[in-house]
C-alpha cells in the first residue's frame, strides 16, 4: 500500500481590502516556500463593508465592486 503526504494550508479572516499588507506578503512568501498541495480559504476573505451592519466608519467606505476586485487580487496572489 502506498501513501502520499498532503501539505494542507487553511487561511481565513483576511478581510480584504482591510488586510494587513505585511502579513499578506509574509503568507505569500511562506506559501512559496512550503508549497502546499491543498490551499483552503476558510471564510471572511472579503470584508464586504458596503453590506456590513457593523463599524459604519465613513472613512472606510468603498464600493462593493472595489472590495470584490481587491479580494480577487488577494486570492490571485496566493
The residue that leads in pLDDT, 66 or 34, is: 34
The pLDDT score that the predictor gives to residue 26 is 94
pTM: 0.66
**Rounded CA gap, 48 and 52, in Å?**
6
Per-residue pLDDT of 14-50, as tens digits, reads 888 888 889 989 999 999 999 999 999 988 888 777 7
Contacts of range 51-60, beta carbons closer than 8 Å, 24 or more positions apart: 60/18
Amino acid at each position: 500500500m502506498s501513501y502520499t503526504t498532503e501539505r494542507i494550508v487553511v487561511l481565513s479572516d483576511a478581510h480584504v481590502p482591510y488586510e494587513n499588507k505585511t502579513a499578506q506578503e509574509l503568507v505569500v512568501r511562506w506559501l512559496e516556500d512550503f508549497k502546499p498541495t491543498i490551499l483552503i480559504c476558510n471564510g471572511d476573505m472579503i470584508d464586504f463593508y458596503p453590506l456590513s451592519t457593523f463599524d459604519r466608519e465613513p472613512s472606510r467606505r468603498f464600493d462593493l465592486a472595489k472590495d470584490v476586485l481587491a479580494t480577487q487580487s488577494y486570492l490571485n496572489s496566493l
